[in-house]
Structure 1
Amino acid sequence: MNKSAKMEQLEVLRVELEIFKQQHRDLDEAIHALEERGTGDLLTIRRLKKQKLALKDKIARIEDRILPDIIA
């Protein structure tokens, strides 16, 4: 893979990372709103929390690809 393609791939990963982080924040706000108002049923809140955890895993994987651990 040439340097230009690698830079393009990193840019795509950064954009995906920002999208997933925004979705994670949105889910967090939705969960807090449902819990505070008491209007959400437990099943809905649990489903949203699972989605939030899945996004957290995706975020961690992308961050690892952008900044891999370097053993010194």
Structure 2
Amino acid sequence: MIYFVIHHPRQENVMENSHVSALSAKHAGLEARIKAETSRPMPDSSLVASLKKQKLRLKEEMAAQH
């Protein structure tokens, strides 16, 4: 039996948009964690650095999706 896969650009676009939306939500969550950590009396600088790196990676991935 032979199956054909029909390519639907609109469906691909919806999946891409939902992926970017998920990345954007993670980016916002990291921003909130950074803000919360830096507002503490003695913020953990290594945690803040790690969160900022994660946030930057997400930003780069979102830019690559466009």
What TM-score, normalized by structure 1, do the two folds share?
0.76
Moved over 2 A (4+): none
- 1:12-64: CA deviations, max 9, x gaps? 0000011000110010010011000135311111000000000000111112x
Larger Rg: 2
Question: Structure 1, unaligned stretches of length 5 or more?
Answer: 64-72
Counterparts of 2:42 and 2:29, CA distance in 1: 17
Which residue does 2:63 correspond to in 1?
60
When the two structures are aligned, how many residues end up with a matched partner?
A: 61
Overall identity of the aligned pairs, in %:
25
Question: Structure 2, unaligned stretches of length 5 or more?
Answer: 1-5
What TM-score, normalized by structure 2, do the two folds share?
0.83
Which residue does 2:8 correspond to in 1?
5
